[in-house]
Structure 1
Amino acid sequence: MLNIRSDNPAGRDGVLKSLALPDGTDMAYRDAGQGPVLLLVHGWAASGRFFDPIVDLLKQDFRVIIPDLRAHGQTPAGPGRPDIDTLADDLVVLLDTLDITGAVALGWSMGAQVLWSLIERHGADRLAGLVVEDMSPRILNTDDWPLGMASGMDTAGSQRALDAMRSNWPAYAAAFVRHIFSRDRASRDPDLIQRVLVELHQCDAEAMAALWESMAGQDFRPALPAMSLPVLVTWGEASQAYNPATSRYLVDTLPNAQGKAFAQSGHAPHLEQPEEFAEAVQQFASQVQAGVTHPENIEGSFSS
């Protein structure tokens, strides 16, 4: 269950830490547990607290670093318009300041774009492996790219979304939140939907629009074949954001990738099947950080 409480901004692990970025923005992050490092990078309009359901499970074996990206959670947007490349540069500052190398990084949704940008801009030397959670290397669909957003969103549809979020962010957030989960999740767990919606309402509409524009402009397809580090691609079979074929494309295109599907999840398996998702991440990260060049294939599906 998502553990979001307004009187506990740090989530489950005590005092929220902060790091001064080069432009003066204070990045908030949590640092839980001990051992090999897992870096958890959240999605658009979310925060590090969205990982609360898996932090307690992962910190038993790992040191888990959970930042709030710029313009999310407890980290302000800072000067200028936030974009994917800036968020990637911020993560490099975080890793370098904490003197972290050999981390396994998990990117959920937009978080995967941020990590792909980090690798493109700074190389993969700081990372031992990557977990991608339900994301496409290009989110907008074209005549020759049908593996963007499952809704079929194209450039015109993206502009309509931008207009809607700028004109009435609360209404847009209320419509968006249901698409994070499998279709029946709202009826089965309305409290979860409401807690997530409260978080989304705290986001600044213009900052979210700027980041959406940046996401929509990204195309990481040409970069994928050169990303040779071990990758675990995860997805929800009931995702309303991206079709399972999108994640299977990543498994086929990345040179050292394996896949794991979660049959009862939508766009956020770490929220809908947290125990099973944490188990898959633990297994993959343990193999990678033990120096296994080609981790044992864990491709399959968790259904319970």
Structure 2
Amino acid sequence: MKLKEAYIEVEPGIELFVQEAGSGEPLVFIPGFTFTTEVFSEQIRYFSKTHRTIVIDPRSHGRSTLTVHGNDYVTHGGDLQKVLHALKVKNATLVGWSFGCLTAWEYIRQFGTEGIKSLVFIDMPPKSLSLKQDTDWVEGPLDDLAAAYTNYLRHPKGQREFITAYASGVMVQRKLTEKELSWVVEQSLRTPYYIAANLFSSGLFADYREEASKSSETTPTLYVVAEHWAQTAIPYLEKLAPKASVKALGGHLMFWEHGEKFNKIVEGFLKGSLD
């Protein structure tokens, strides 16, 4: 696998780091909150055999430029359009994970689905908060999310504690080794806590239900949701986006922990033969 790397300027002084490999119809992977291209290494290896596989570090993530402005998903959606234009990407499948889904939905809000072949959303509700927590698929209880913002994402120690707890309790279904946990936490810490807090609040207050509903009517769409909230997420999505396909697998980081199963699900979806 020959991996190409580039920096694409999305505005003066702001560059996004991009990796790509392979040829064919493009797959564009967008990592989630404070994470980087590295989480999709198994997907790059697998899908680059058959597709032009592209992974992006959003602004203030990974090797992209750290900046104190534009750390919101409205800006990230515009950044994505600029990257696709610079790389001459057409007929793409967008694959968003976690808050990376918000980037994809924001792109749809601003630019529509023309030129998008299909959509894959990994474990993210289109609206994070709701008072109807018994029936709506949300990111978590309101009090817990408020506590994460006010008690943890206000200083470096809190960011480390928050990501450590989330990685151990939500991301995977097994006990992480010390080395694995350290790698996950270090991924997040490449984004400073004060930027992470901005991204967190921007994501929690977003509402992309309309984009999620309308895009699934015209564009083949797959949701892969974590098993721990599948009983809520699946009926919610069946009502909001009835034409979309939905699969449950693993925890929040299922494409890393259960890479082979995840890749087969996405491959089946891309081929139009999803079970």
TM-score (norm 1): 0.82
Q: Give the secondary-structure state (helix, strand or coil) at the position aligned to 1:44.
A: coil
2:223 counterpart of 1:233: yes
Partner of 1:215: 203
2:237 counterpart of 1:281: no
Q: Give the secondary-structure state (helix, strand or coil) at the position aligned to 1:260.
A: strand
Identity percentage over the alignment? Answer: 22
In angstroms, what is the RMSD of aligned CA positions? 2.0
Partner of 2:163: 173
Paired residues of 2:3 and 2:20 also in contact (CA < 8 A): no
Give the 5 Å matches for 1:224-263. 224-227=212-215, 228=217, 229-237=219-227, 239=228, 242-262=229-249
Take 2:274 and 2:261, find their aligned partners in 1: how far apart are those partners? 16
Take 1:205 and 1:253, find their aligned partners in 2: how far apart are those partners? 34
Decide which of 60, 63, 66 is 1:77's aligned counterpart.
Answer: 66
Paired residues of 2:2 and 2:22 also in contact (CA < 8 A): no
Q: Give the secondary-structure state (helix, strand or coil) at the position aligned to 1:121.
A: helix
Take 1:48 and 1:247, find their aligned partners in 2: how far apart are those partners? 28
Q: Structure 1 residues 183 and 26, CA, compared in 2 at 3 Å: closer, same or farther?
A: same
Paired residues of 2:122 and 2:223 also in contact (CA < 8 A): yes
Take 2:3 and 2:248, find their aligned partners in 1: how far apart are those partners? 32
For residue 236 of structure 1, what is the amino acid of its counterpart? A
Partner of 1:197: 185
For residue 260 of structure 1, what is the amino acid of its counterpart? K
Q: Give the secondary-structure state (helix, strand or coil) at the position aligned to 2:153.
A: helix
Take 2:37 and 2:161, find their aligned partners in 1: how far apart are those partners? 23
Q: Structure 1 residues 191 and 255, CA, compared in 2 at 3 Å: closer, same or farther?
A: same
Take 1:33 and 1:180, find their aligned partners in 2: how far apart are those partners? 32
2:127 counterpart of 1:138: yes
Q: CA deviation at 1:231?
A: 0.3
2:137 counterpart of 1:147: yes
2:127 counterpart of 1:126: no
TM-score (norm 2): 0.90
Number of positions where the alignment pairs a residue of Structure 1 with one of Structure 2: 269
Deviations 1:73-119 (CA, angstroms, capped at 9, x unpaired): 10123351410011111010011111111101111111111101110
The unaligned stretches of length 5 or more in structure 1 are 1-11, 288-294, 299-304
Q: Which sits farther off after the overlay, 13-22 or 200-209?
A: 13-22
Q: Structure 1 residues 21 and 210, CA, compared in 2 at 3 Å: closer, same or farther?
A: same
Q: Which sits farther off after the overlay, 159-168 or 228-237?
A: 159-168
Paired residues of 1:42 and 1:107 also in contact (CA < 8 A): yes
Deviations 1:44-68 (CA, angstroms, capped at 9, x unpaired): 0211110012211111101101010
Q: CA deviation at 1:13?
A: 5.3
2:84 counterpart of 1:107: no
The unaligned stretches of length 5 or more in structure 2 are none
Choose between structure 1 and 2: higher helix proportion.
2
Give the 5 Å matches for 1:77-96. 77-96=66-85
Q: Give the secondary-structure state (helix, strand or coil) at the position aligned to 1:135.
A: coil
Deviations 1:165-222 (CA, angstroms, capped at 9, x unpaired): 1133222222222234234333xx4432222122222221011110111101111123
